[in-house]
Amino acid sequence: MEPILSVSHLEKVYGSRGNRTTALSDLSFDVLPGEFVGIMGASGSGKTTLLNCVSTIDAPTSGSITVDGTDVTALRGAALSRFRRERLGFIFQDCNLLDTLTGFENIALSLTILGTPAGAIDARVTEAAALLGLERVLDKYPYQMSGGEQQRVAAARAIITHPALVLADEPTGALDSKAAGQLLRQLSALNQTGGATILMVTHDAFTASWCRRILFIKDGGLYRELLRGEQDRRSFFSRILEVVSTLGGDGADVL
Protein backbone atom coordinates (compact mmCIF):
# COMPACT_ATOMS: atom_id res chain seq x y z
CA MET A 1 0.00 0.00 0.00
CA GLU A 2 1.42 3.36 -1.04
CA PRO A 3 1.50 6.11 1.64
CA ILE A 4 -0.89 9.03 1.33
CA LEU A 5 1.77 11.17 3.03
CA SER A 6 5.51 10.56 2.88
CA VAL A 7 7.87 12.92 4.73
CA SER A 8 11.50 12.23 3.84
CA HIS A 9 14.59 13.72 5.53
CA LEU A 10 12.74 16.96 6.21
CA GLU A 11 14.74 19.92 7.49
CA LYS A 12 13.57 23.42 8.27
CA VAL A 13 16.04 26.10 9.30
CA TYR A 14 15.13 29.69 10.13
CA GLY A 15 17.54 32.63 10.09
CA SER A 16 20.92 33.07 8.46
CA ARG A 17 24.51 32.23 9.24
CA GLY A 18 25.36 33.10 12.84
CA ASN A 19 21.70 33.21 13.86
CA ARG A 20 20.18 29.93 12.72
CA THR A 21 17.41 27.95 14.39
CA THR A 22 16.77 24.37 13.30
CA ALA A 23 13.06 23.64 13.70
CA LEU A 24 13.08 20.25 11.92
CA SER A 25 16.06 17.95 11.50
CA ASP A 26 16.16 14.88 9.22
CA LEU A 27 12.54 13.97 10.00
CA SER A 28 11.00 11.05 8.09
CA PHE A 29 7.70 9.15 8.40
CA ASP A 30 4.79 7.83 6.32
CA VAL A 31 1.02 7.95 6.76
CA LEU A 32 -0.97 5.22 5.04
CA PRO A 33 -4.46 5.61 3.55
CA GLY A 34 -7.14 5.50 6.25
CA GLU A 35 -4.80 6.23 9.18
CA PHE A 36 -5.62 8.63 12.03
CA VAL A 37 -2.22 9.89 13.19
CA GLY A 38 -1.53 12.33 16.02
CA ILE A 39 1.52 14.59 16.36
CA MET A 40 2.60 15.55 19.88
CA GLY A 41 5.63 17.31 21.33
CA ALA A 42 6.75 19.95 23.79
CA SER A 43 6.61 23.65 22.96
CA GLY A 44 9.30 24.39 20.39
CA SER A 45 9.63 20.74 19.34
CA GLY A 46 8.79 21.49 15.71
CA LYS A 47 5.35 19.95 15.40
CA THR A 48 3.66 23.18 14.27
CA THR A 49 6.44 23.77 11.75
CA LEU A 50 5.91 20.22 10.50
CA LEU A 51 2.17 20.79 10.00
CA ASN A 52 2.87 24.09 8.25
CA CYS A 53 5.23 22.35 5.84
CA VAL A 54 2.84 19.47 5.12
CA SER A 55 -0.02 21.92 4.59
CA THR A 56 2.17 23.94 2.16
CA ILE A 57 1.86 27.06 4.33
CA ASP A 58 5.65 26.98 4.79
CA ALA A 59 8.41 25.50 2.63
CA PRO A 60 11.08 23.18 4.05
CA THR A 61 14.77 24.00 3.74
CA SER A 62 15.48 20.52 2.41
CA GLY A 63 13.87 17.11 2.11
CA SER A 64 10.60 16.17 0.43
CA ILE A 65 6.90 15.90 1.27
CA THR A 66 4.78 13.72 -1.00
CA VAL A 67 0.99 13.81 -0.72
CA ASP A 68 -1.05 11.36 -2.79
CA GLY A 69 1.88 10.81 -5.14
CA THR A 70 2.71 14.51 -5.63
CA ASP A 71 5.87 16.15 -4.25
CA VAL A 72 4.28 19.28 -2.82
CA THR A 73 7.67 20.91 -2.22
CA ALA A 74 8.08 21.14 -6.00
CA LEU A 75 4.74 22.91 -6.60
CA ARG A 76 4.56 26.65 -7.17
CA GLY A 77 1.97 29.32 -7.88
CA ALA A 78 -1.34 28.24 -9.36
CA ALA A 79 -0.45 24.55 -9.27
CA LEU A 80 0.22 24.74 -5.53
CA SER A 81 -3.03 26.63 -4.88
CA ARG A 82 -5.02 24.13 -6.91
CA PHE A 83 -3.44 21.17 -5.11
CA ARG A 84 -4.18 22.73 -1.71
CA ARG A 85 -7.83 23.29 -2.66
CA GLU A 86 -8.40 19.87 -4.19
CA ARG A 87 -6.28 17.43 -2.19
CA LEU A 88 -5.98 18.88 1.33
CA GLY A 89 -8.62 19.53 3.97
CA PHE A 90 -8.02 21.84 6.92
CA ILE A 91 -9.49 21.99 10.44
CA PHE A 92 -8.06 24.73 12.65
CA GLN A 93 -8.47 25.60 16.33
CA ASP A 94 -10.30 28.72 15.17
CA CYS A 95 -12.93 27.24 12.88
CA ASN A 96 -12.71 30.23 10.46
CA LEU A 97 -16.34 30.11 9.37
CA LEU A 98 -17.73 33.06 7.43
CA ASP A 99 -20.23 34.88 9.63
CA THR A 100 -22.44 35.97 6.73
CA LEU A 101 -22.95 32.40 5.47
CA THR A 102 -25.19 29.68 6.88
CA GLY A 103 -23.86 26.30 7.93
CA PHE A 104 -24.92 24.89 4.57
CA GLU A 105 -23.19 27.70 2.67
CA ASN A 106 -20.00 27.42 4.74
CA ILE A 107 -19.78 23.69 4.03
CA ALA A 108 -20.58 24.19 0.34
CA LEU A 109 -18.00 26.95 -0.09
CA SER A 110 -15.15 24.60 -1.00
CA LEU A 111 -17.25 22.95 -3.70
CA THR A 112 -18.35 26.31 -5.06
CA ILE A 113 -14.72 27.42 -5.37
CA LEU A 114 -13.93 24.22 -7.28
CA GLY A 115 -16.78 24.90 -9.70
CA THR A 116 -18.88 21.89 -8.68
CA PRO A 117 -22.28 21.91 -10.46
CA ALA A 118 -25.05 23.30 -8.25
CA GLY A 119 -27.08 20.13 -8.61
CA ALA A 120 -24.30 18.06 -7.04
CA ILE A 121 -23.60 20.44 -4.17
CA ASP A 122 -26.86 19.79 -2.28
CA ALA A 123 -26.30 16.03 -2.12
CA ARG A 124 -22.66 16.41 -1.08
CA VAL A 125 -23.48 18.88 1.71
CA THR A 126 -26.33 16.68 2.95
CA GLU A 127 -24.00 13.68 3.03
CA ALA A 128 -21.26 15.52 4.95
CA ALA A 129 -23.78 17.01 7.38
CA ALA A 130 -25.22 13.58 8.11
CA LEU A 131 -21.76 12.16 8.85
CA LEU A 132 -21.15 14.89 11.41
CA GLY A 133 -24.66 15.22 12.85
CA LEU A 134 -25.23 18.72 11.51
CA GLU A 135 -28.68 18.47 9.95
CA ARG A 136 -30.19 20.90 12.49
CA VAL A 137 -27.66 23.71 11.95
CA LEU A 138 -27.51 23.90 8.16
CA ASP A 139 -29.84 26.92 8.14
CA LYS A 140 -28.15 28.63 11.09
CA TYR A 141 -25.43 31.26 11.01
CA PRO A 142 -22.23 30.69 13.02
CA TYR A 143 -23.33 33.04 15.83
CA GLN A 144 -26.40 30.82 16.31
CA MET A 145 -24.28 27.68 16.77
CA SER A 146 -22.37 26.32 19.75
CA GLY A 147 -18.59 26.14 19.55
CA GLY A 148 -18.77 22.40 18.97
CA GLU A 149 -21.28 22.82 16.15
CA GLN A 150 -19.10 25.46 14.51
CA GLN A 151 -16.08 23.16 14.65
CA ARG A 152 -18.07 20.26 13.18
CA VAL A 153 -19.21 22.54 10.34
CA ALA A 154 -15.52 23.33 9.76
CA ALA A 155 -14.80 19.59 9.71
CA ALA A 156 -17.58 19.02 7.17
CA ARG A 157 -16.14 21.78 5.01
CA ALA A 158 -12.72 20.08 5.23
CA ILE A 159 -13.93 16.67 4.05
CA ILE A 160 -16.55 17.61 1.48
CA THR A 161 -14.03 17.76 -1.38
CA HIS A 162 -12.87 14.21 -0.52
CA PRO A 163 -9.28 15.34 0.09
CA ALA A 164 -6.39 12.89 0.15
CA LEU A 165 -5.39 14.17 3.59
CA VAL A 166 -7.19 16.07 6.37
CA LEU A 167 -4.90 18.24 8.51
CA ALA A 168 -6.22 19.16 11.95
CA ASP A 169 -4.39 21.76 14.06
CA GLU A 170 -5.51 21.65 17.72
CA PRO A 171 -9.16 21.13 16.65
CA THR A 172 -10.41 20.78 20.26
CA GLY A 173 -8.31 23.60 21.71
CA ALA A 174 -11.20 26.08 21.97
CA LEU A 175 -13.88 23.57 23.01
CA ASP A 176 -15.18 22.45 26.39
CA SER A 177 -14.82 18.78 27.30
CA LYS A 178 -18.30 17.79 26.12
CA ALA A 179 -17.97 19.49 22.73
CA ALA A 180 -14.43 18.16 22.34
CA GLY A 181 -15.58 14.60 22.97
CA GLN A 182 -18.39 14.95 20.44
CA LEU A 183 -16.04 16.32 17.77
CA LEU A 184 -13.50 13.55 18.41
CA ARG A 185 -16.17 10.87 18.12
CA GLN A 186 -17.18 12.33 14.78
CA LEU A 187 -13.57 12.56 13.54
CA SER A 188 -13.05 8.95 14.60
CA ALA A 189 -16.17 7.95 12.67
CA LEU A 190 -14.96 9.85 9.61
CA ASN A 191 -11.73 7.90 9.83
CA GLN A 192 -13.14 4.44 10.56
CA THR A 193 -16.32 4.45 8.49
CA GLY A 194 -15.68 7.29 6.04
CA GLY A 195 -12.10 6.30 5.25
CA ALA A 196 -10.69 9.79 5.88
CA THR A 197 -6.93 9.98 6.41
CA ILE A 198 -6.25 12.43 9.25
CA LEU A 199 -3.05 14.00 10.59
CA MET A 200 -3.75 15.91 13.81
CA VAL A 201 -1.50 18.08 15.95
CA THR A 202 -2.60 18.24 19.59
CA HIS A 203 -1.14 19.14 22.98
CA ASP A 204 -3.79 17.12 24.81
CA ALA A 205 -3.38 13.43 25.71
CA PHE A 206 -7.15 12.87 25.84
CA THR A 207 -7.52 14.20 22.30
CA ALA A 208 -4.55 12.15 21.13
CA SER A 209 -6.04 8.97 22.59
CA TRP A 210 -8.63 8.94 19.77
CA CYS A 211 -5.84 8.46 17.21
CA ARG A 212 -4.59 5.08 16.06
CA ARG A 213 -0.93 6.13 16.05
CA ILE A 214 1.02 8.92 17.75
CA LEU A 215 4.29 10.46 16.58
CA PHE A 216 6.19 12.34 19.28
CA ILE A 217 8.47 15.12 18.02
CA LYS A 218 11.43 16.34 20.09
CA ASP A 219 14.06 18.89 19.04
CA GLY A 220 12.86 18.72 15.46
CA GLY A 221 13.16 14.96 15.09
CA LEU A 222 11.06 11.86 15.63
CA TYR A 223 11.42 10.91 19.31
CA ARG A 224 9.04 7.99 19.64
CA GLU A 225 6.04 6.33 18.03
CA LEU A 226 3.05 4.72 19.73
CA LEU A 227 0.63 2.33 18.04
CA ARG A 228 -2.77 1.81 19.63
CA GLY A 229 -3.35 -1.60 18.10
CA GLU A 230 -6.15 -3.48 19.89
CA GLN A 231 -5.89 -1.44 23.09
CA ASP A 232 -8.91 0.42 24.37
CA ARG A 233 -8.69 4.19 24.47
CA ARG A 234 -8.20 4.35 28.26
CA SER A 235 -5.12 2.13 28.08
CA PHE A 236 -3.75 4.08 25.11
CA PHE A 237 -4.29 7.33 27.04
CA SER A 238 -2.15 5.98 29.90
CA ARG A 239 0.64 5.04 27.49
CA ILE A 240 0.53 8.50 25.94
CA LEU A 241 0.92 10.10 29.36
CA GLU A 242 3.95 7.91 30.07
CA VAL A 243 5.70 9.16 26.95
CA VAL A 244 4.66 12.76 27.63
CA SER A 245 6.35 12.54 31.04
CA THR A 246 9.65 11.64 29.38
CA LEU A 247 9.43 14.77 27.25
CA GLY A 248 9.96 16.88 30.36
CA GLY A 249 6.47 17.58 31.66
CA ASP A 250 2.93 16.35 32.05
CA GLY A 251 0.05 16.75 29.64
CA ALA A 252 -0.40 20.42 30.50
CA ASP A 253 3.20 21.15 29.46
CA VAL A 254 3.00 19.66 25.99
CA LEU A 255 1.94 22.58 23.83
- Average per-residue pLDDT in the chain? 91
Topology of domain 5-253, CATH = Rossmann fold (3.40.50)
**Region of residue 65 (left: phi > 0; alpha: psi -120 to 50; beta: else):** beta
Does the pLDDT at position 249 exceed 60? no
Does the pLDDT at position 54 exceed 70? yes
Does the pLDDT at position 91 exceed 80? yes
Residues paired with residue 195 on neighbouring β-strands, in sequence order: none
Mean pLDDT of 188-217: 93
The answer to whether 168 and 36 have CB atoms below 8 angstroms apart is no
The fraction of the chain above a pLDDT of 90, given in percent, is 75
What is the pLDDT at residue 251? 44
Where would I find the beta strands (DSSP E) of the chain? 5-16, 19-31, 36-41, 62-67, 70-71, 88-92, 165-169, 198-201, 213-218, 221-227
Q: Tell me the torsion sign for CA atoms 200, 67, 87, 130.
A: negative
Q: What is the pLDDT confidence band of residue 248, given thresholds at 50, 70 and 90?
A: low
Task: Spell out the domain ranges in the chain.
Answer: 5-253
Tell me how far CA of residue 16 lies from CA of 50, 61, 124, in angstroms.
20, 12, 48
Q: pTM of this prediction? A: 0.90
Pairing of strands 19-31, 88-92: unpaired
- Residues 138-179 have pLDDT tens digits of 999 999 999 999 999 999 999 999 999 999 999 998 888 888
Mean pLDDT of 69-85: 93
